[in-house]
A and B are shown apart, each in its own frame.
Chain A
Amino acid sequence: MTLLQKSLILFGIVVAILALASAIGTWLARKTKSESGVATVENLNARIKAWWGMIAIFAACYALGFTATVLLFALTSFYTLREFISLTPTQRADHAPLVLAFYVLLPLQYWLVWSDWYGLFAILIPVYGFLLLPSLSSLQGDPVNFLLRVSRIQWAVMLTVYCISHAPALILLQIPGYEGQGFLLLFFLTAVVQFSDVMQYVFGKLMGKTKLAPVISPSKTVEGLVGGGLSAMALGAALFWITPFSPLAAAAMAGLIVIAGFLGGLSLSAVKRSMGAKDWGTMVQGHGGVLDRMDSVSFAAPLFFHLTRFFYTV
């Protein structure tokens, strides 16, 4: 099958599933009466609406091509970095390193993705950013909490720019026999992460008993993780035909994406809580901020990228 054929089939399946989900959501909204039930259904319907938005954006990116996809992820990094920094108590002396982060590192990183310059893409932020951010900060002459302030900015840039930029970079991986189909890898990653998120939520609501990290993220349960993880692995295996993987390898990749995504969600919850916030923002209706939706992707994307690169490219 060609990329176009695979994409059309996929798009059809996703639209069918979302249409079914919307129908169920509408039916539940009419049927549910209890107060907590209504809140859950409202949350579910808001999520479904946001997924329609996501699939529309995905389709638009596919239609408009690689440049549009890179721009979309650059914008995602911009919004997540903005959310992260807005919740971080920055000082006057942090202004210069933040200007570097927002106006130099972020655009440069995505330019490197766009121009397929892998060598510099992989080290721009971990090497040059790592050294430049504290250098600029030290020139401001404010030593109070220096290490804490610098690490916060470095962490924010690594997470929101470096990690997320690995998602569009998937498109460029040169896999023998899979030329020009990298866009489907990006779809695979997004589908597995989103499906795992929602199935963890559903299994957690239905049979969640054993809390995994009650202090950091009270909604995460062992039952939710196992149920959601197994469902996502099944989805991954079912999607093997759009990837260069065998069905078994696709399930394993999906499993790793689930674990990375889960740990990303947990780590970012811990960060949020350390800052005294519940959501990163209010931008996506029903989903909190953009970073609330991207927390799993930000951990899963680099891992998925490097595993695929290591095992499947020449």
Chain B
Amino acid sequence: MIDLVLIGLTRFLVGAHSRWTGSEPVEKQRIYFANHGSHLDTLLLWSALPKELRATTHPAAAADYWGQGALKRLIAQKGLNAVLIDRSGSSAPGEALEPLRKTLTEGHSLILFPEGTRSANRLPGPFKSGLYRLAKEFPNAELIPVYLDNPARAMPKGAILPLPIICSAHFGPALAYVENEEKEAFLLRAQAAVSALAPPALEALTS
């Protein structure tokens, strides 16, 4: 019920269109990883997925944002099936990923924002290592890059109200497996896979 209200609102405001190229919206275990520029990102990617996939897909959400306050917690846990993760850095390395491992062990899919924090740029910044670890530990999960177009314009950092600006999620082909790949190389490749899905930028203001 909450999820339908959320999705209805998100689609009314920002459209949440999805485009699949090189992969299909099918029920497989996956880790969707996307660029992160707005608090709308989780809702947008979630609303862009078909209903069958949403049932077994869990966004990883920062506990310091989505865990704050009753309303946000309700939206995150009851509406989005989110897995709350601690990004304070106080836990031992890799320990923060524990809730995500649990979800993947159950055979479910994840939505990750590997930049870890919202960036103001059109293309994603450097990825954190969580994606690499999970990819190594769960080689059967397909890694699907996603580029989220426009949410940072609809709801930039610091904004209270989201604007009705059409946003879309561009899903790309699964990241190929490369034997014995170094962490840095893998993360760069994943970052480039997301950037490659970005549609051309709107005409520059000065032109």
CB pair B165 A82 closer than 8 Å: yes
- Please measure, in the bound complex, the distance between the C-alpha atom of A183 and the C-alpha atom of B165, giving whole angstroms: 32
Q: A132 within 8 Å of B by Cβ?
A: no
CB pair A82 B166 closer than 8 Å: yes
Selected interface stretch from A11-19, A40-48, A90-98, A161-169: A90-98
- Please measure, in the bound complex, the distance between the C-alpha atom of A148 and the C-alpha atom of B206, giving whole angstroms: 9
- Please measure, in the bound complex, the distance between the C-alpha atom of A282 and the C-alpha atom of B19, giving whole angstroms: 13
Q: B161 within 8 Å of A by Cβ?
A: yes
Selected interface stretch from B64-72, B95-103, B106-114, B197-205: B197-205
- Please measure, in the bound complex, the distance between the C-alpha atom of A286 and the C-alpha atom of B159, giving whole angstroms: 36
CB pair B203 A89 closer than 8 Å: yes
- Please measure, in the bound complex, the distance between the C-alpha atom of A282 and the C-alpha atom of B156, giving whole angstroms: 25
CB pair A91 B205 closer than 8 Å: yes
Least CB separation from B203: chain A residue:
A276
CB pair B163 A98 closer than 8 Å: yes
B139-154 toward A: CB 8 Å interface, digit per residue (1/0)?
Answer: 0000000000010010
Which residues of the other chain, A, contact B173 by a CB distance below 8 angstroms? Answer: none
- Please measure, in the bound complex, the distance between the C-alpha atom of A83 and the C-alpha atom of B204, giving whole angstroms: 18
- Please measure, in the bound complex, the distance between the C-alpha atom of A75 and the C-alpha atom of B34, giving whole angstroms: 32
What is the interface residue range for chain B against chain A? 10 to 19
Least CB separation from B155: chain A residue:
A95
Q: B79 within 8 Å of A by Cβ?
A: no
Contact residues, B2-32 vs A (CB, 8 A):
15, 17
Q: B116 within 8 Å of A by Cβ?
A: no
CB pair B202 A87 closer than 8 Å: yes
Which residues of the other chain, B, contact A144 by a CB distance below 8 angstroms? Answer: 205
Q: A149 within 8 Å of B by Cβ?
A: yes
Q: A275 within 8 Å of B by Cβ?
A: yes
Which residues of the other chain, A, contact B164 by a CB distance below 8 angstroms? Answer: 78, 81-82, 85, 102
Contact of B161 among A99, A276, A282 (CB under 8 A): A99
Least CB separation from A90: chain B residue:
B153
Which residues of the other chain, A, contact B202 by a CB distance below 8 angstroms? Answer: 87-89, 275-276
User: How many Å from the CB of B39 to the closest CB on chain A?
Assistant: 13
Contact residues, B82-128 vs A (CB, 8 A):
120
Q: A224 within 8 Å of B by Cβ?
A: no
CB pair A148 B156 closer than 8 Å: no
Least CB separation from A95: chain B residue:
B159
**Number of residues on chain A facing chain B (CB within 8 A):** 26
Q: A281 within 8 Å of B by Cβ?
A: yes
- Please measure, in the bound complex, the distance between the C-alpha atom of A86 and the C-alpha atom of B205, giving whole angstroms: 14
Contact residues, B153-207 vs A (CB, 8 A):
153, 156, 159, 161, 163-166, 201-206
- Please measure, in the bound complex, the distance between the C-alpha atom of A274 and the C-alpha atom of B206, giving whole angstroms: 12
User: How many Å from the CB of A81 to the closest CB on chain B?
Assistant: 8
Which residues of the other chain, A, contact B201 by a CB distance below 8 angstroms? Answer: 89
- Please measure, in the bound complex, the distance between the C-alpha atom of A103 and the C-alpha atom of B166, giving whole angstroms: 16
- Please measure, in the bound complex, the distance between the C-alpha atom of A145 and the C-alpha atom of B150, giving whole angstroms: 21
Which residues of the other chain, B, contact A149 by a CB distance below 8 angstroms? Answer: 205
- Please measure, in the bound complex, the distance between the C-alpha atom of A81 and the C-alpha atom of B166, giving whole angstroms: 11
CB pair A99 B205 closer than 8 Å: no
User: How many Å from the CB of A193 to the closest CB on chain B?
Assistant: 25
Which residues of the other chain, B, contact A102 by a CB distance below 8 angstroms? Answer: 163-164
Given that A145-B205, A275-B202 are known contacts, is A86 also in contact with B159, CB under 8 Å in the complex? no
Contact residues, A154-199 vs B (CB, 8 A):
none
CB pair B163 A99 closer than 8 Å: yes
Which residues of the other chain, B, contact A99 by a CB distance below 8 angstroms? Answer: 161, 163
- Please measure, in the bound complex, the distance between the C-alpha atom of A85 and the C-alpha atom of B13, giving whole angstroms: 12
Least CB separation from B200: chain A residue:
A276
Which residues of the other chain, A, contact B206 by a CB distance below 8 angstroms? Answer: 145
CB pair A83 B156 closer than 8 Å: no
- Please measure, in the bound complex, the distance between the C-alpha atom of A274 and the C-alpha atom of B205, giving whole angstroms: 11
Which residues of the other chain, A, contact B204 by a CB distance below 8 angstroms? Answer: 89
Which residues of the other chain, B, contact A88 by a CB distance below 8 angstroms? Answer: 202
- Please measure, in the bound complex, the distance between the C-alpha atom of A87 and the C-alpha atom of B204, giving whole angstroms: 12
Which residues of the other chain, B, contact A78 by a CB distance below 8 angstroms? Answer: 164
- Please measure, in the bound complex, the distance between the C-alpha atom of A282 and the C-alpha atom of B206, giving whole angstroms: 27
- Please measure, in the bound complex, the distance between the C-alpha atom of A275 and the C-alpha atom of B200, giving whole angstroms: 12
Which residues of the other chain, A, contact B161 by a CB distance below 8 angstroms? Answer: 99, 103
CB pair B203 A275 closer than 8 Å: yes
Given that A92-B156, A95-B159 are known contacts, is A86 also in contact with B203, CB under 8 Å in the complex? no
- Please measure, in the bound complex, the distance between the C-alpha atom of A281 and the C-alpha atom of B161, giving whole angstroms: 23
Contact sample, A vs B, 8 pairs, CB 8 Å cutoff: A82-B15, A85-B165, A88-B202, A89-B203, A89-B205, A91-B205, A102-B163, A145-B205
Give 8 new A-B contacts, CB below 8 A, not counting A89-B202, A103-B161: A85-B164, A86-B165, A89-B201, A90-B153, A92-B120, A95-B156, A95-B163, A149-B205
B interface residues (Cβ-Cβ under 8 A, vs A): 15, 17, 120, 150, 153, 156, 159, 161, 163-166, 201-206
Top 6 A-B residue pairs of the complex, sorted by shortest distance between their CB atoms: A89-B202, A86-B166, A82-B164, A145-B205, A86-B165, A92-B156
